[in-house]
């Protein structure tokens, strides 16, 4: 009897979650308990309840994820949980950014069943799993990227949740309703977020978060 692993699959496409579930239900020589989340908000709700996951498989292209910002949040708030990024964007620059922001591996969505299994096996055993690098993989993180990622990492999970809703265009009263807290609480969160991001307006806050989008990486 092999080890038992608790793995969290975070992807907004049910079909791909199902494909991952199929890939990981066999071939790992271990007992695997799989839990699915279809959004960053669902992921955060699960992490509010428990933080002892053995691995998170994180799709970068999801509502509320804003590219690498979800990865930055995970690595800063839950550094004990390894994260493997999954994406259909397979440029070497995207691999490199994922690694720079603390991922333990990268699984292209074009991977074979065996490729997915091997990547997950490598990380569960304490290693890393990266596709072979290609020429032109982009330079190091810019000073702006380093600054923004550090600012995002300073947010609490609830502040990050509020920030993504601000970026989605919700008003304070709408965010308060969604999160079931008072509008005054949201105003306090927004003030703290602005201070941490060193911005003065909701538009500037949205731009800071959107700077972490994947397009920024692939166009380096």
- 137, pLDDT greater than 60: no
The pLDDT of residue 181: 93
- Tell me the domains of the chain and their CATH numbers: 4-125 (3.40.50.2300), 143-216 (1.10.10.10)
pTM as predicted: 0.76
**153-179 tens-digit pLDDT:** 888 888 988 998 898 889 999 999 989
Q: How far is CA 135 from CA 16, 131, 170, 217, 218, in A?
A: 29, 13, 41, 15, 13
At residue 1, the pLDDT reads 53
For 7-51, the pLDDT digits (tens) are 999 998 888 888 888 888 877 777 888 999 988 888 888 888 888
**Over the stretch 79-125, which tens digit does the pLDDT of each residue have?**
999 999 998 888 888 888 888 889 999 998 888 888 889 999 899 98
Give me the mean pLDDT over the 132-140 stretch. 58
Give CA separation, 186 vs 73, 77, 100, 166, 175, in Å: 19, 20, 32, 10, 7
129: tokens are 């799993």
Instruction: For residue 215, name the pLDDT band (cuts at 50, 70, 90).
Output: very low
Could you tell me the CA-to-CA distances from 23 to 16, 27, 179, 192, 195 in Å, in that order?
A: 10, 7, 35, 42, 44
Radius of gyration of the chain (CA): 18
Say how far apart CA 106 and CA 123 lie, in whole Å. 10
Whether the predicted pLDDT of 71 surpasses 50: yes
pLDDT bin (cut points 50, 70, 90) of residue 57 is very high
Residue 63: pLDDT over 90? no
- Give the residue with greater pLDDT, 107 vs 62: 107
Q: How distant, in Å, are the alpha carbons of 35, 66, 106, 143 from that of 140? A: 34, 20, 18, 9
Q: What pLDDT, in 10s, does the model give residues 118-130?
A: 999 899 988 888 8
């Amino acid at each position: 009897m092999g080890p038992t692993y608790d793995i969290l699959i975070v992807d907004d496409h049910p079909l791909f979650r199902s494909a991952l579930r199929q890939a990981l239900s066999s071939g790992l020589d271990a007992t695997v308990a799989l839990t699915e989340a279809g959004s960053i908000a669902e992921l955060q709700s699960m992490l509010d309840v428990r933080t002892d996951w053995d691995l998170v498989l994180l799709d970068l292209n999801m509502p509320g994820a804003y590219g690498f910002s979800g990865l930055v949040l995970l690595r800063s708030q839950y550094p004990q949980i390894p994260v493997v990024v999954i994406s259909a964007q397979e440029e070497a620059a995207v691999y490199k950014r994922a690694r720079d922001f603390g991922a333990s591996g990268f699984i292209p969505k074009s991977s074979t069943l065996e490729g997915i299994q091997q990547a997950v096996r490598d990380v569960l055993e304490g290693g890393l799993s990266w596709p072979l690098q290609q020429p032109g993989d982009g330079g190091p993180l810019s000073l702006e990227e380093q600054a923004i990622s550090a600012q995002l990492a300073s947010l609490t999970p609830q502040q990050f949740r509020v920030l993504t809703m601000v970026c989605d265009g919700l008003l304070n009263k709408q965010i308060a309703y969604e999160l079931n807290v008072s509008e005054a609480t949201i105003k306090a969160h927004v003030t703290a977020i602005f201070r941490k991001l060193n911005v003065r307006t909701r538009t500037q806050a949205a731009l800071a978060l959107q700077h972490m989008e994947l397009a920024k990486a692939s166009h380096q």
